[in-house]
Each structure stands twice: as C-alpha cells, then as structure tokens.
Amino acid sequence: MAARSTNSDRSGRGRRANRESTIYQDAAGRWHGEVWVGVRSDGRPDRRHRTGATRAAVVRKVRELERQRDAGATPKAGERDTVASWLRHWLYNVAAPSVKTKTYLTYRVNIENHAIPVIGHHLLIRLEPEHVEQMHAQLLAKGLSAKSVLNVHRTVARALKVAMMRGKLQRNVVTLTTPPSVPRLEIEPLSREEARAVLLKSRHLRNGARWAVALGSGLRQGEALGLAWDEVDLTKGRLHIRWQLQRLAYEHGCVRRGEDPTCGGKPRACPDRIGGTVFSRPKSRAGSRDLVLPPPLVEELKAHRKAQLEERLAAGTAWHEGPRGGLVFCQPNGKPIDPRRDYMDWLALLKAAGVSRHRVHDARHSAATFLLEAGVDVKVVSEILGHSQSWFTRDTYQHVSQRLQAEAAEQMAAVLWDTN
C-alpha cells in the first residue's frame, strides 16, 4: 500500500485502513512510520514501527519494510535470531541428520571454533558483507590457512542459504564476498621407474599388495582400507567398491544441540563417543563402482589372500573377522588398519625403495597419470577413479594433457613438414 503522510501527531490523524502504511510527524518534530506486515499468533494485527529525523529517511525505511513483507521475508514479531543461534540451529537440526559424520564434524569445527567467535554476536538480519570479510581477515590473522577459511566461508554460506529459503533473510551476504584464493597444489605422481621400485620392494612386505592396489587401480586410501573379501572376485579379476574406512576425531556422543558434555570426561572416554575408525559409503554414486584389475594385480591379491589365511589360522580365536567376509588389508589380528599407520607404512616403503617422500594420495595420482599417458580415454579414467564428472579428471590432470598435446604437435609436424 502507498504510504500516507500527515503533519499531525497521533491524536490529530484521521482513521486509516487496517493494512495501510502510515507516515506522520509527532509534536516534537520527529518522523514515524507504521507498516502492517501480517497477523500475530494471538490474532492481532502485526504493525511495525520505524522512526527517523527526516521524512525521507522514514519513507525509505517504510518502503524497505513493505518490500520485505511483500517478499514474505519479514521476521516474525519478537524474532531476534543472532547469527550464532541460527548457525547452531542449522548445524544440529538441519545438517546433522542429513550429512555424513565426517562432514558434520567439519561443519561443527567451522561454526563453533571459527565463525561464531567472530560474527556470532550480530543479529541475523543485520549481518552485512563487511562482517563476513572481517571474519576472513581475522581467521587468516589467527593462522588458519586460506583453504580452511574457504571451508568456513562455504559452511556459513550453506547455513544462510537455508535461512533465506525459510524467509529469515532476503539475501545471503556470504555470496556477496570473495573468500581467500587457495593456491592449486601441483600433482606429484611417481615416475614409472619409481612406481616399479616401490612394487618390487612391497612384494616382501606383509600387506604388500596394498600398494599394488593403490598404484594399479587408483583406489583412495579409505577405499583400499575399507575393502572386504566379499567385494573381491579373484576369478573374474574385479573389485566392487562400496565402502570406505575413515578415521574421525573422537567427539562426545552425549553432547546434544551444542550443549556441554554430560559425561564429564574427555571425548575418547565418553561412553557414547563418536569417531575413531568407521566405515561409510562413498560420497557420490560414482564412488560406488566396479573395477577390472590388471592380471598381475590379480595374481598378487591371490598370493596375499593365501598368506592372510595362514595368518588367520595361526591367530585362532584372537582373529577378528570384521565386516563382509573380513578385510583385504588388516592388522595381524584382523582389525582395520588406522589410516595414520597406513601412511607411516607408505613412507617407510618409499624410503626402503629409494624414492623421495610422497603423499599416500600420490599413488592414486600416479595410477591416473599412467593411464592417461597410455592413451586411455579420460572418461574411462574418470570412471576408474570414481570421479562424478570427467571434466574434473581432465582439469586435475592438466599436466598430462599438456604433455600429450606436445606429443601430438610433434606428430603433426612429422606428417606435414617431414621433421623426422
């Protein structure tokens, strides 16, 4: 409704329509505005009041409130959500029931440790882009990496997106800011000679086939450590990737909705603790996949299976069967291998093979690089790696693409200019 102006105070105004916005000046010369925005829970009209030193200032405030009302984004009467209260509501009631445990724990750190201490005191409807930019700066100054700050930025953006969908906000101010840029990490695969040296050395180790699987099929660390014999078909030479092993930091299971722990101890001692090594499904559909193994790798797995059966026989009742027919790669008692222990074993193997230090994930990068250099189509490589989109594979392994393009240019030169 169009705002009506009068120079009289409240006592001098004529009768107005129930839903009509009003602008008036009181006896002291101050301007006021009233806007109908709906009906309260008790059935009474919900009219909001705005005030200012000039009529123009109040007109702007009234029009903004009318715009919020018409867009269905007016806060309810008495609603005073702070950024902290909304982030916690989103975390414990929206995110927690719908995301994987590891994702939830990451969100929790981003919100409780980083976002709320900096911007949590602001009213949700008063949060501005500048506040988010100040959060970026303070977290960087505190020592967080650009990647960590980017993750906090994304977590808050997700929470505010839900607030917008529910009419608590008209805009997501996080999307109006630019997070710190994260430098792209260069892929550092092993060379073919280094990979062969590692495989040669691993044959004499317990669980040595673990590294043949990493280099020969490109499995992620969690996929290899979560692989069970029920998902291995040594007759057909296939793997069925359906689970992964993850190590989560211990958290109090007795904590509810952000309240203090009730058990009184440390997270590891909590009787309802969450965390440790857990099995989970892959994050995407592409992660659940079937792989055809190179014949030499099938033979290594057969030898590994035989050695493990002998080990299991010797362990007797001390052996833990574990899930799905037992784990392919496990401790001497059948229990899962902690990812940190797996990493230390990898470093020891590299040292023994005379190869420079690499991440465990670089074995996966090596497998992808070898496949692309061998001329395997990028879409096929993407399916082997379990990427959701082939463009991600192409983008990640640009170094291989550039090398192949250089070789193609040399071949074209030989065809047209006889440069051989």
Domains 83-176 and 189-243+285-420 share a fold: no
Q: 131-153 pLDDT, tens per residue? A: 999 999 999 999 999 999 999 99
Span of 120-134, 320-334, 390-404 with lowest mean pLDDT: 390-404
pLDDT digits (tens, 9 = 90+) for 26-67: 888 899 999 888 777 677 788 888 888 899 999 998 988 888
Taking the C-alpha atoms of residue 392 and residue 188, their distance in angstroms, rounded to an integer, is: 17
Q: Are 152 and 112 in contact (CB under 8 A)?
A: no
- The CATH homologous superfamily to which domain 83-176 belongs is Tyrosine recombinase, N-terminal domain (1.10.150.130)
- CATH numeric code, 189-243+285-420: 1.10.443.10
3-state secondary structure the chain: CCCEEECCCHHHCCCCCCCCCEEEECCCCCEEEEEEEEECCCCCEEEEEEEECCHHHHHHHHHHHHHHHHCCCCCCCCCCCEHHHHHHHHHHHHHCCCCCHHHHHHHHHHHHHHHHHHHCCCEHHHCCHHHHHHHHHHHHHCCCCHHHHHHHHHHHHHHHHHHHHCCCCCCCHHHHCCCCCCCCCCCCCCCHHHHHHHHHHHCCCCCCHHHHHHHHHCCCHHHHHCCEHHHEECCCCEEEECCEEEEEEEECCCCCCCCCCCCCCCHHHCCCCEEEEEEECCCCHHHCEEEECCHHHHHHHHHHHHHHHHHHHHHHHHCCCCCCCCECCCCCCCCCCCHHHHHHHHHHHHHHCCCCCCCCHHHHHHHHHHHHHCCCCHHHHHHHHCCCCHHHHHHHCHHHHHHHHHHHHHHHHHHHHCCC
Does residue 266 or residue 75 have the better pLDDT? 266
86-99, pLDDT tens digit by residue?
Answer: 999 999 999 988 88
> What length is written for the chain?
420
296 has pLDDT over 90: yes
Specify the pLDDT at position 1.
42
pLDDT at 10 over 50: no
pLDDT of the residue at 156:
97
Within 8 A by CB and 6+ apart from 295, the residues are 237
By mean pLDDT, which of 141-150, 213-222, 290-299, 315-324 is the weakest? 315-324
User: In this predicted structure, what is the pLDDT of residue 358?
Assistant: 95
Mean pLDDT score, 356-364: 94
Of all residues in the chain, the percent with pLDDT exceeding 90 is 55
| Distance in angstroms (rounded) separating the CA atoms of residues 114 and 94 | 19
pLDDT value at 291 more than 90: yes
pLDDT higher than 50, residue 163: yes
What is the overall mean pLDDT for the chain?
86
Residue pLDDT, tens place only, 200-236: 999 989 999 999 999 999 999 999 999 999 999 999 9
Look at residue 117 and tell me whether its pLDDT is greater than 90.
Answer: yes
Q: Render pLDDT for 247-263 as a digit per residue (tens, 0 to 9).
A: 877 777 776 555 667 77
276: left (phi over 0), alpha (psi -120 to 50) or beta: left
CB contact set of 104 (below 8 Å; sequence gap of 6+) = 91, 95, 96
Which amino acid does the sequence have at 320?
Answer: H
Structural domain spans, the chain: 4-70, 83-176, 189-243+285-420, 248-280
Confidence at residue 5, expressed as pLDDT on a 0 to 100 scale: 47
Q: How far is CA 196 from the centre of its chain?
A: 34
Q: Is the pTM of this model over 0.75?
A: no
Q: Report, as an integer, the average pLDDT of 343-358.
A: 96
Phi-psi region of 63 (alpha: psi -120 to 50; beta: other; left: phi over 0): alpha
* Side chain identity, residue 383: E
pLDDT mean over 395-401: 79
Q: Is residue 9 very low, low, confident or very high in pLDDT (cuts 50, 70, 90)?
A: very low
Report percent pLDDT > 70 for the chain: 90
Cβ(321)–Cβ(418) below 8 Å: no
